Each structure stands twice: as C-alpha cells, then as structure tokens.
Structure 1
Amino acid sequence: MTLSTEQIEISKFMSFLQDWDRGTKAIRHQILNDFINTSKGKTSPELELQFAQGASLFLTRLTAWLRITYMVGTCVTEQLQAIGIFLSAASGHRYLIEILEVGGILTLLEILRLKQLQEDAKQEALKLLTIIANAGRKYKELICESYGVRNIAECLANSKLEKTQEQAQILLELLAQGNPKYQLQVYKGLIALLPCTSPKVQQMALQALRTLQSIVKIVHPCIVDPLLNILRTIHYEVQYEVIEFIKVLLNYKVRQALLEGVVARLTPSTENQPKIFHDEPTSNLAESSPLYVQQAAAAKVIGIIIKESTEIAEEMLQLRVVHHLMIVMGNLEYASSQKQACLTLEVSIYESYLIHTFPVVEEHVRQAIGESFYELYMKHPENLYLKMDSIQAAVLVNNKVNIPGSIEAAAE
C-alpha cells in the first residue's frame, strides 16, 4: 500500500468513526448491519486492513455503547453479533483481551438475567461466552468466578426458545470440561435444574449430567430425590433420560439409595396415595395420574435393571421388591383399566420375570397367595386385575413376601 493510498484509507476510517460518534440510533443500527453483512468470517489481519489498522478503535466503541445501552435493549442483538465477528476472527486473540479488560464477561452474564431483553440477544450472549470459554481453561474459570454457572443455568431454566436452551446446555457442558476447579459447581448447577417444570429443561439437564458424570467421577447424594421425582413425568423423552442416567449412577455409591428409592415409589405412603385406592371408583383421575405414571416408571426402571444385572436383581429382592409389586397389582383391582394399563403391564411383566428367574421367588409368592390364585396370576399377568375379586386383591395388598437371605440359602 502506497503512502497516498494509506492516507486515503485512514481518512475513510476516521470519517467512519465520526459517522458512528455523531450518529443517531438509526444510523448506528445501519452501520452495525453493514458491518455484520460484510465482515462475517474475516480474520484479524483482514479486519485490520478494513479499518486501516484501527479495528480496536471500532471495537472499543462497540463495547462502550453496549455497556451503556444493554439494559434498555438498544440494538443489543446487532451489537453482540458485531462483537462476535471480532471474537471469532482467526488470530484475533487480542480482541478477546480487549473485551475482557472492559468487563465483557460480566456484561454478557448480566444480559442473560434481564427479563426485558428478547431471547435472540441472550442467544448471542451465550454464543460469545462459548467463544470465550473455548479460548482456554483460564477463561472458563473467569466465567465461573463471575457467577457464570448460576446465570447460565437460570437462563436455561427461564428461556422459552429451544435454541436458547440448547446454547445454554452446550456452554454449561463446556465449562465443566477441562476445568477441574469448577466442574463440580457446574454439576450441582445442573442438579438444581431437575425440579424445573419444563420437560425440555429437565431433558437437557439430564443429558448434560450423564455427559459430565464420567468427568466429575463422583455423585452428590442430593441428586437421588430430584432424580427419582422426575419419574412422575408424562413425557417419555424425559423418562428415557432419567432411566439412562439411573443406569449410569448404579456404578457409584448412591446405588443403594437409588434402588431403595425406586422400590419405595412403587407403593407411596398412605397419605400420598390417590383416593382411588381407598374410595369408590371414579372417572376423575386427573389428580392421581402423576402418581400412577411414577409407579409405572418405577416398575419400568426395575424391569430394565434386573434384566441387565442378576446382581442388581438379587439386591432388589433384599429390598422386598416382590412384596411391593404385589401391592401395586392388588390396588389396581380398584383402578380404571384404561388409565392403569401401562402400570399393569410394567408390574406384571417384571414380577413374572423375577418369578421365572429365581425359583425361590416363585416359592414365596406361591405360599403367599395360594395355589389357585397363583395359577391365575401366572396365566393372565397382564390383565389379572380385571379377573381377580376383592378378596384376591386384598391378599395381594396384604402379602408378606420377604426374601432377605433366601438367595444365599438357595445357593448353598
């Protein structure tokens, strides 16, 4: 570039900065759109050439205007997109440093918390934080030190758009990877999302937890109750994630607590049981449906894990799982066949599996309910509750099947 050409470019750039400095909101909005449309994918040298080696002067103006206006929502999305061009530019590490020096991380995290901002702005803020986190471990630590995990998790929980939720999930997983100082903080932040009412958020939190489990390598005991409570969900995609995560956690110290919790959710305490277990049949099951879904899901979990591991099946027997399954079957005699078909199917299939797998189970069940009822039970397990009478139902509900130590005795 000759001296005269360089002077022309500098003059153009100074005129550009004057237009920005004196421009109204509408003019600045147009400048931002022009920059975004013409500069995406440019490298740091290309940006410097575009701005006559003064790209940092424009970046400084962008970050300053963002800090002044982000709370009122003035062109926030476009400002973040423009800053993103600098952050993602190849060989542009110095732009990252310049943004951090003016409190860029705190500004981006604050944007995630503002209810008045549209979600596209939050998506852009999450993208910029992801770029920063990808720059290395010390930048992940900076985000976490700025209460980033909490802000990002809250953004995930409160967002209505799936794209925003997915971007937050990606960022949380990224913050835990290669960041040993804060990986447990991310893990706990995801656990805090499990009671969320949004099934999509629950699904994403479970997916992230399963991904991070091999990284964290420990399990916080507080995970058991919120995890098992999600079994009430009617959303099968969430239920699938719960079951898959439970299978992973059975290899950790919470195994006993998980198995006990799953069995306990087959037969909730009396005060938590739906009225249909105690009163005359009714067509209104709206209040009791979540509990039935939870029982069916618990039975499904039991069935899956006992089929995958004989050792776990034996542990389940020590927890009186057969006793609880029979109680559920007995209570179904009073339930609506249409509403409880899934629960009946789950319970009958898995109890039959235990009976056929362990002769000692067959022996105890036969003794508990009598020969004739046992034959009916094994002949029609899938619709037994439609065929049995109230006396037979009471036999199931009041059964005393208890097999602790029987497996070992049978083996001797």
Structure 2
Amino acid sequence: MSAHEERAKISKVKSFFHEWDCGNTTVRCRMLNAFLVQSSGKTLVELELEFAQAASLFLGRISTWMKLTYMFGTCLGLQLKAVGVFLSASSHDQYLIEFLQDGGVLTLLDILGQTQIKEEDKAEALRLLLIFSNAGRRFKEFICECHGMRAIAECLSTARTEENQETAWALLESLSHGNPKYQNQVYKGLIALLPCTSPRAQQLVLQTLHTVQSKMKSAHPSIVEPLLNMLGSLRLEVQDEAISLILDLGQHEVRPMLLSGLVALLKPTKEEVQQHQLLEEPEMTKMTESLPVFVQQAAAAKAVRLLAQGSQQLSEELLSLRLIHHLLYAMGNREHTEAQIQASLALKHFVSSYSGIAEHVHRCMGSVLFEAFMNTADKVHMYMDEVQAEILLSNKVNILEALDGKSAAD
C-alpha cells in the first residue's frame, strides 16, 4: 500500500469513527449492519487492514456502547453479533483480551440474568462466552472467577428455548474440561442444577455431570437426593442418564446413602402417593401409571438390578437393607405395571443367586405364583390376582435369615 493509499485509508477510518461518535442509535445500528455484511468471517489481519490497524478502537466503541445500553436492549443483538466478528477472527486472542479487559465478559454474564432481555440476545451472549471458554484455560478461569457458573446454570434452568439450553449446556461442558482449578466449582454447580424442571436440561446436565464425576476423586453427598429424584422423571432419556450415573456412584463413598435411598423408593408411603396425587392435574390423578412416585419405584428397581448384577458386594449390601421385602412390595403394586415388571426382574436375580432367598420368596408367593415368576418373571403380574397382590404388599420376609443361604454360585 502506497503512502497516499495509506493516508486515504486512515482518513476514511477517522471519518467512520467520527460518524459513530456523533451518530444516534439509528445511525449506529445502520453502521453495525453494514459492518456485519462487509466483515463477517474476516480474519484478524483482514480486520486490521480494513480499519488501518485500528480495529481495536471500533471493538472498544461497540463494547462501551453495549455496556451503557444493554439493560434497555437497545440494538443489543447487533452489538453482540458485531463483537462476535472480532472474537471469532482467527488468531483472535488479541481481541479476546481487549474485550475482557474492557469488562465485556462481565457484561455478557449479566445479560444472561436479565429477565427483560430477549432469548435470542441471550443466545448471542452465550455463544460469545463459549468462544472465550474454548479459547483456553485462562479464559475458563476468568469466567469462573466472575461467578460465571452460577449465571450460566441459572440461564440453563430458566431458558425458554431449546437453542439456549443447548448452548448453555455446551458452555458448561466446555468449562468442565481443562479447568482443574475450578473443577470442584463446576461439579457442585452441576449438582445444584439437577432439580431444574426442564427434562431436556436435566438430561444435558446429567450427561456432563457423569463426565465430571469420572474425574473426581470422591462424590459429594449432595448428589444423592436430587439424583434419586431424577428417577421419577416421565422421560426415559432422563431416567437412563440418572441410572447410568447411579451405577458409577456405586463405587464411591456415597454408596451406603445411595443404596438405602434406592431401597426406600421401592416402597413409597401412602403420604408420598397422596402428595403426588395432589400435585398432579385432576385428570392426571386418574392415570396412576403416570404418577412420578410409581415411575420412580420402577426405575429404582431397575437400578437395583443393574447394581446387583455388576457386583456381588453391592448385592449383599442391598440385601442387608431388607431389599427382598421391598421388592415383593413393589411387585404387589398393581397400580403400576412397569414397577411390577422391574421389581420382578430384580427379584429374579436375587432368587437365582441365593438359595435361602428362593425359599423365603416361594413361601411368600405360594407355589402357583412362584412357578409363574420363575418361568416368566417379566409377565408374572399378568397371573396375579388381588389376594396374591395383597399378600406381597403385606409380606414380612426376614432378610437376615435369607442371607444365611449363600450364593448358589458358592
């Protein structure tokens, strides 16, 4: 570029900045639209060439205007997209650092928590934060230092669009990798998200939590209760993710709390059933198959079976918790077919593995029902009448005696 061309370029950029500095909202929005059309996808070198090596001055102007007006939503979408042109430029650490030093990350995090800001603008803010997080450890740490985990987690739990849920989750996922200093903060933040009401958000959080838990030396006790509550989800994908994480936690120090919680879910109290009925819509209370307390009962039985099949030690720990009594009770629950099936399959595993248990179950069921149970455990509910179901519901199997019958494999 000749000296004359360089002077002309500098003069053009000065005029551009003057127009921006003197322009009102309408003028600035027009300028941002033109910038997005002309500069989207450009590299750092190309942006610097376009602005006569002063592109950072334009980024600073956009950032300052955004900080002053984002609470009102003034051209916020355009501002965020324009900032994205800079942050997405190849070799972009320079712009990232400048935007960070100008307070831009704090602004983005605050945008997430503003209820009056549109969802599409929050989506842009999340995408910019994701660029930061993917840029390396120091940027992840800065986001966490600014209490970013809390802001992102709240955004995920309250997001009204699936796009924002997915982007917030991708950001949490990014923060969970290559961020050892704040790994524990990310872990606890994910646990705190488990009670959120969106099934899709629950599924995403469970996926990431599973990954993070595998990196942790121990499991925090606060994970147990909300994880067990996930078993009551009416979405199978959420249940499956929860059970998968439960299987991993069977090897951690929270195991006793987890196992006792699972066994307790097999025998919901009348108060728990009534409470769920009151919380459901009137027409839903007629469909007892849909009650979360019974869905939870079925999922707990499935988790018990999978845990026991994977470890004899876990089998024996479960048996010490009056498990057989609770499984027989769940089998007698004629209000939820899936609970009966899962409890029957779990019980079949223990009956096949411990001869002493088989004798007690046979005595409790009676010969006819026991034979049907042994032949087709997943269909035994079809052969059960009200009297037999009531016997199972009121069973008093002494598990300590049953444990005296060692494993058939022994």
The TM-score normalised by the length of structure 2 is: 0.90
- Name the aligned partner's letter for residue 359 of structure 1: S
Q: What is aligned with 1:55? A: 55
How far apart in 2 are the matches of 1:350 and 1:59?
Answer: 62
Cα distance, 1:283 vs structure 2? 8.3
The yes-or-no answer on 1:153 pairing with 2:158 is no
Structure 1 residues 171, 382: CA separation in 2 closer, same or farther (over 3 Å shift)? closer
Q: What is aligned with 1:266? A: 266
Cα distance, 1:406 vs structure 2? 5.0
Q: What is aligned with 1:330? A: 332
Q: Is the 8 Å Cα contact of residues 331 and 341 (structure 2) preserved in structure 1?
A: no
Q: What is aligned with 2:308? A: 306
- Name the aligned partner's letter for residue 313 of structure 2: E
How far apart in 2 are the matches of 1:189 and 1:208?
Answer: 11
The yes-or-no answer on 1:17 pairing with 2:13 is no
- Name the aligned partner's letter for residue 27 of structure 1: V
Structure 1 residues 194, 362: CA separation in 2 closer, same or farther (over 3 Å shift)? same
Cα distance, 1:42 vs structure 2? 1.9
Residue 71 of structure 1 aligns to a residue in which SS? Answer: helix
Q: What is aligned with 2:338? A: 342
Residue deviations 1:155-198 (CA, integer Å, cap 9, x gap):
00111111211111121122232222221111111111111111
Q: Is the 8 Å Cα contact of residues 133 and 139 (structure 1) preserved in structure 2?
A: yes
- Name the aligned partner's letter for residue 316 of structure 1: L
Q: Is the 8 Å Cα contact of residues 360 and 406 (structure 1) preserved in structure 2?
A: yes
The 5 A counterparts of 1:201-350 are 201-274=201-274, 284-285=286-287, 289-332=291-334, 335=335, 340-350=336-346
Cα distance, 1:387 vs structure 2? 4.2
How far apart in 2 are the matches of 1:369 and 1:181?
Answer: 56
Residue 232 of structure 1 aligns to a residue in which SS? Answer: coil
The yes-or-no answer on 1:360 pairing with 2:362 is no
Q: Percent identity?
A: 47
The yes-or-no answer on 1:138 pairing with 2:135 is no
Cα distance, 1:241 vs structure 2? 0.8
Structure 2: runs of 5 or more not aligned: 278-283
Q: What is aligned with 1:5? A: 5
Residue deviations 1:69-91 (CA, integer Å, cap 9, x gap):
11111111111111122122223
Instruction: Report which stretch shifted further, 141-150 or 27-36.
Output: 27-36
Q: What is aligned with 1:192? A: 192
Structure 1 residues 78, 405: CA separation in 2 closer, same or farther (over 3 Å shift)? farther
Q: Is the 8 Å Cα contact of residues 325 and 399 (structure 2) preserved in structure 1?
A: no
How far apart in 1 are the matches of 2:266 and 2:346?
Answer: 13
Residue 64 of structure 1 aligns to a residue in which SS? Answer: helix
Q: What is aligned with 1:71? A: 71
Cα distance, 1:376 vs structure 2? 4.9
Q: Is the 8 Å Cα contact of residues 332 and 393 (structure 2) preserved in structure 1?
A: yes
Q: What is aligned with 2:93? A: 93
Structure 1: runs of 5 or more not aligned: none
Cα distance, 1:386 vs structure 2? 5.2
How far apart in 1 are the matches of 2:224 and 2:159?
Answer: 26
Structure 1 residues 409, 377: CA separation in 2 closer, same or farther (over 3 Å shift)? closer
Cα distance, 1:407 vs structure 2? 4.7
How far apart in 2 are the matches of 1:125 and 1:114?
Answer: 12
Structure 1 residues 351, 286: CA separation in 2 closer, same or farther (over 3 Å shift)? closer
Structure 1 residues 9, 314: CA separation in 2 closer, same or farther (over 3 Å shift)? same
The TM-score normalised by the length of structure 1 is: 0.90
How far apart in 2 are the matches of 1:391 and 1:214?
Answer: 47
Instruction: Report which stretch shifted further, 91-100 or 317-326.
Output: 91-100
How far apart in 1 are the matches of 2:2 and 2:404?
Answer: 92
Residue deviations 1:95-150 (CA, integer Å, cap 9, x gap):
22221222111111111011111112111111221222233322222211211110
Cα distance, 1:354 vs structure 2? 2.3
Q: What is aligned with 2:169? A: 169
Residue 295 of structure 1 aligns to a residue in which SS? Answer: helix
How far apart in 2 are the matches of 1:241 and 1:87?
Answer: 35
Cα distance, 1:356 vs structure 2? 2.3
Q: Is the 8 Å Cα contact of residues 156 and 201 (structure 1) preserved in structure 2?
A: yes
Q: What is aligned with 2:281? A: none
- Name the aligned partner's letter for residue 199 of structure 1: P
Instruction: Report which stretch shifted further, 49-58 or 375-384.
Output: 375-384
How far apart in 2 are the matches of 1:276 and 1:169?
Answer: 30
Structure 1 residues 393, 69: CA separation in 2 closer, same or farther (over 3 Å shift)? same
Query: How many pairs does the alignment contain?
Result: 402
Q: Is the 8 Å Cα contact of residues 369 and 399 (structure 1) preserved in structure 2?
A: no
- Name the aligned partner's letter for residue 2 of structure 2: T
How far apart in 2 are the matches of 1:297 and 1:40?
Answer: 49
Pairwise CA RMSD? 2.5
Residue deviations 1:281-303 (CA, integer Å, cap 9, x gap):
x9824597221111111112122
Q: What is aligned with 2:393? A: 397
How far apart in 2 are the matches of 1:127 and 1:77?
Answer: 12
How far apart in 2 are the matches of 1:171 and 1:262?
Answer: 32
Cα distance, 1:207 vs structure 2? 0.9
Instruction: Report which stretch shifted further, 311-320 or 200-209.
Output: 311-320
Cα distance, 1:405 vs structure 2? 7.3
- Name the aligned partner's letter for residue 161 of structure 1: T
- Name the aligned partner's letter for residue 257 of structure 2: A
- Name the aligned partner's letter for residue 399 of structure 2: I
Residue 71 of structure 2 aligns to a residue in which SS? Answer: coil
How far apart in 1 are the matches of 2:372 and 2:86?
Answer: 74
